A = this chain, B = another copy of it.
Amino acid sequence: MKIDKLVGDRFKEKPSDCVVDSHALMLRGGYMKGVANGIYSSYMPLRRITRKIENIIREEMDAIDGQEVQFPVVMPASLWQETGRYESIGSELLRFKDRNDIPMVLGMTHEEAAVQLVRDYGNSYSRYPFMIYQIQTKFRDEARPRAGLIRVREFTMKDAYSFHTSQEDLERYYQICYDAYNRIFARCGIPDVVTVKSDSGMMGGSISHEYMLLTPIGEDTLAICSACDYRANMEAAESIIENEMTGESAELTKVYTPNIHTIEEICDFLHTPLIESCKAVVYQKNMTDEYVVVFVRGDLDINETKLTNYLGEGVHPAVITGDCGLHAGYIGPVGLDSVKFTVLYDKSLQNTHNLSCGANEDEYHFTGLKISRDVGDVDYLDLAKIIEGGICPQCGKPAIRISRGIEVGNIFQLGTKYTKSMEMQYLDSEGNLQYPIMGCYGIGVGRLAASVCEAHHDDYGPIWPMSIAPWHVELCCLRADDAETKAVADGLYQSMLDAKVEVLYDDRNIRPGFMFSDADLLGIPVRVIVSPRNLKEGVCEVVTRDKEISEKIPVEQVLDRVQAIICERLK
């Protein structure tokens, strides 16, 4: 195709609302256009990229015996009521009513639909295992869409669901899928994706992994051990704190601390480090607004996912009212009403003394807190976020590094959460009714495209890997007003078309700088430049977008050379 007919504008200026490179480059390169907050239309170059990604995913899913199916985008709420997720998921699940006032949802994931599809089929052990998948549009009403295709509301996703008659068989297949995912990311040009253990969150189940592309612009925070192979999502990483009580235990002493409201202020005031304080973090349960007071060592933060998992329900930061019985800024463990409030202690407070903390009385704090003495025996829970330099839960060394990453895929062992709640059963070989065990496996197509762009770009545009590039070759005719040059370029274009090379032809009569900046934005791997100067020597320039190759090739050998490069890079 010729670039002068390619719909979409390319431009130089970075749009002001872009915080990540892939977002800016995909807007600047005419890949996509915003339609609403977190909702985009794709132009042809991006659609070609996503189709190639979809085909790679499809091939790998088919290769592990996946059966492509299709679930609806719009589902009846009744299906989600069977599993309780209609109620338990927040407003990211878009709910509405159809013309007959029947409550419906937009699919943000399809466990319910998957079970509904195979509930009758999977009635005998002999039909297991099987895996079904789809590549389909999903909608998730994100509160804060951001970073272009990294976090959107509407997206295309491959979601796969496997069904098994034993945990062993699930684990066997989980490993197969784990490997297939690595192949997918490698084929798409990001072989360096790492897997981390993650929290299963609303999906249910226990073991799950996220595939992470490590990049500073990532939304997820990872704990990675530099001494062993431990990798975990911050949300799932156990925080290990080893305290040692040194010195004497001071007495619990009330101190007058007017106008001091934060743990930082009290430590400042007392000239003690944060590590010698006991901080109160207050939440409210989403359903009942009941207060939950979590105490943690002053230098640490609460991991809300761990807290939610422990409580078994969602929480939000508390609004502390005047009559609730809590003294904002002065909350502490001593004398706090543990019947009226849910009071929890993080493990970072175990084996400590001489802490400062609130005195549950306006304008007063305590010093010398020793929980075991002043409060008594309490349960210490893992509720804190793991920290840089923290202790690795696997090897025990203080070698945790905190990195950021984009989650490009995830795999979950779901167990029987969905099959039980939706009453999907099979007869085992002994004639007993059993619930099948599920796994599920997701990859967001658009996010993967953006991630590849994050991993492979320069200041001038994306550098697409051959496997997912919108076209393989960009043919640039410099000086289209020169008859001989144009004739040679036209001939090359036709020969490439005849050879079924995916070629984009730029024969616009424009300045080379303009032509090349367009080409950089399109990020096509191979560029063939036809110019009067080179033609004097009977050659064309064949260069690659990644600068690995820059050659002068006789005109009559250009097609062969280009095909060889494509072939080599598609291996």
Contacts and interface: CB of A to CB of B under 8 A. Distances in A.
A67 B43 CA distance: 8
Contacts of A153: 74, 98
Contacts of A130: 5, 7
A336 B409 CA distance: 71
Given A65-B5, A92-B99, A94-B96, A74 B39 contact: yes
A139 B68 contact: no
Contacts of A7: 67, 69, 117-118, 121, 127, 130, 132
Given A79-B35, A94-B96, A143-B99, A44 B73 contact: no
A120 interface: yes
A76 interface: yes
Contacts of A104: 36
Contacts of A94: 74, 96, 98-99
B154 A116 contact: no
How many copies of this protein are present in the complex? 2
Interface in A90-116: 91-92, 94, 96-99, 102, 104, 106, 113, 116
Nearest to A67: B44
Interface centre among A68, A97, A98 (most CB of B within 10 A): A98
A398 interface: no
Nearest to A48: B68
Given A8-B121, A117-B41, A118-B7, A36 B75 contact: yes
A2 to B, nearest CB: 10
A72 interface: yes
A117 B46 CA distance: 13
A141 to B, nearest CB: 5
Contacts of A91: 99
Interface centre among A74, A91, A116, A121 (most CB of B within 10 A): A74
Given A39-B75, A42-B70, A137-B136, A9 B121 contact: yes
Contact of A137 (B79, B116, B117, B137): B137
A5 B132 CA distance: 11
A116 B33 contact: yes
Contacts of A230: none
Interface centre among A70, A73, A96, A134 (most CB of B within 10 A): A70
A116 to B, nearest CB: 6
A54 B34 CA distance: 26
Interface in A170-217: none
A448 to B, nearest CB: 15
Contacts of A99: 91-92, 94, 141, 143
Given A9-B121, A118-B7, A35 B68 contact: no
A86 interface: no
Contacts of A75: 35-36, 39
A509 B175 CA distance: 31
Given A74-B153, A121-B8, A69 B92 contact: no
Interface string A69-85: 11111111001000000
Interface string A1-43: 1000111110000000000000000000000010110011111
A336 B466 CA distance: 76
Given A35-B79, A75-B36, A153-B74, A69 B96 contact: no
A47 interface: yes
Contacts of A71: 35, 41
Contact of A41 (B40, B76, B116): B116
A120 B5 contact: no
Interface in A314-373: none
Interface string A238-279: 000000000000000000000000000000000000000000
A74 B139 contact: yes
Contacts of A44: 67-69, 132
Contacts of A6: 67
Given A6-B67, A7-B132, A116 B35 contact: yes
A114 to B, nearest CB: 9
10 contacts: A5-B127, A5-B130, A7-B69, A7-B118, A7-B132, A33-B116, A44-B68, A92-B99, A94-B98, A98-B141
Interface of A: 1, 5-9, 33, 35-36, 39-44, 46-48, 50-51, 65, 67-76, 79, 91-92, 94, 96-99, 102, 104, 106, 113, 116-118, 120-121, 127, 130, 132, 134, 136-137, 139, 141, 143, 153-154
Given A7-B67, A35-B71, A98-B141, 7 more contacts: A33-B117, A35-B116, A41-B69, A41-B113, A42-B70, A72-B154, A96-B97
